[in-house]
Amino acid sequence: MKKKIVLTRRWPEDVEKSLAEVYDCEFNQCDKQFCQQQFKAALQSADALLTTVTDKLEPETLAIKNRRVGIIANFGVGYTHIDVGAAKQNGIVITNTPDVLSDCTADIAMTLLLMVARRAGEGERELREGRWSGWRPTHLIGSKVSGKALGIVGFGRIGQAMARRAHGGFGMEVKVFNRSRVSDAALASCNAVQVDSIDELMQQSDYISLHCPGGDENRHLINADHIGAMKESAFLINTARGEVVDDDALISALSANRIAGAGLDVFNNEPALDQRYLKFENVVLLPHLGSATKETRDGMGYRVASNLKQYFAGEQPADRVV
């Protein structure tokens, strides 16, 4: 008999077809976010649960009686939406999909940086609304990117991919804050320097790009004090997780013109965007597009499939995190 798997959201068509050839698949045809009762039903009826970043799995749900699921194969790198302690306690394996989304997420981070620096969002809105009166020397003056200082918080795969783009493509001076010591080779690959504190990074950088994990450990890692240490001419870019930034602190700084702007691809309580951000012309907002290319989303799905194959063969999944 085929193993039964439940997918909590619609996945790329080619990936769903590939999974259906091997497994008894239950697809989420309406593509609506699961509630806890749906998670519980899936945990009791399937052999594997295939989740995404939108799926918050509570301890009570993971501890349900008569659980059949032995593996939660996550579509994405981050897995803080799954209660890791409860998964461990209940003997549930968790896998993720590293590597395949690093480049495209770094591309979006650089897109945000360029857009907010060069006021591209403002310019497009002006054109679409018929407000452009023609070229003039003082029109939409932005900030230079080439040669400026980029501070990166979190120097894993995505942070390093961002650093390579910034240094190799724009000659930026790269500074890094990471909780552990970064290898000399990783720093040398983009001529980066590691600093000892977030405040030091903020004080020295013209652009700050966040690439650290989310979850409770890093909730509001970027707080009022850290934002207060930024230059008035600096920009904050977040493609990590929404909870990493204290919205009240960032919005307060933007309101008081204490920083130059921000570019955000992730938000607290997605998709419930804090409406206060909408009033700022100097904030670029994207709907969590970091990994949104066909190549990457397909790659993420096939990475999940590989982890499932290994698990059901009695092997250790390559991307096991719990």
CA-nearest of 134, 143, 113 to 210 is 113
pTM comes to 0.95
Cα torsion 205, 207, 166, 169: sign: negative
**301 by DSSP, 3-state: which?**
helix
CA-nearest of 281, 273, 287 to 121 is 281
Tell me, yes or no, if 211 is annotated catalytic. no
Cβ atoms of residues 187 and 193 within 8 Å: yes
**What's the rounded Cα separation, in Å, for the pair 18 and 304?**
11
Question: Which residue in this structure is represented by tokens 């000892």?
Answer: 196
Mapping DSSP onto H, E and C, the string for 307-318 reads HHHHHHCCCCCC
For helices 294-312 and 13-22, angle between their N-to-C axes, nearest 10 degrees: 20
45 CB-near residues (< 8 Å, 6+ apart): 4, 6, 26, 68
Cβ atoms of residues 50 and 5 within 8 Å: yes
Tell me, yes or no, if 124 is annotated catalytic. no
pLDDT reported for residue 79: 94
Q: Within 10 Å of residue 35's Cβ, how many Cβ atoms?
A: 10
- Tens digit of pLDDT per residue, the chain (322 long)? 999 999 999 999 999 999 999 999 999 999 999 999 999 999 999 999 999 999 999 999 999 999 999 999 999 999 999 999 999 999 999 999 999 999 999 999 999 999 999 999 999 999 999 999 999 999 999 999 999 999 999 999 999 999 999 999 999 999 999 999 999 999 999 999 999 999 999 999 999 999 999 999 999 999 999 999 999 999 999 999 999 999 999 999 999 999 999 999 999 999 999 999 999 999 999 999 999 999 999 999 999 999 999 999 999 999 999 9
Catalytic entry in 241, 243, 297, 303: 241
**245 is written with which tokens?**
């930034």
Strand partners, 73: 50, 95
Cβ atoms of residues 71 and 311 within 8 Å: yes
108 CB-near residues (< 8 Å, 6+ apart): 239, 265, 286, 289, 290, 292
**What's the rounded Cα separation, in Å, for the pair 241 and 213?**
7
**What's the rounded Cα separation, in Å, for the pair 50 and 168?**
37
Strand partners, 151: 175, 208
* Domains present along the chain, CATH in parentheses: 4-100+294-312 (3.40.50.720), 102-285 (3.40.50.720)
Longest pairwise C-alpha distance within the chain: 71
Tell me, yes or no, if 9 is annotated catalytic. no
Cβ atoms of residues 48 and 5 within 8 Å: yes
Cβ atoms of residues 153 and 177 within 8 Å: yes
CA-nearest of 113, 117, 150 to 239 is 113
Catalytic entry in 122, 126, 200, 270: 270
pLDDT reported for residue 52: 97
Catalytic entry in 67, 226, 288, 303: 288
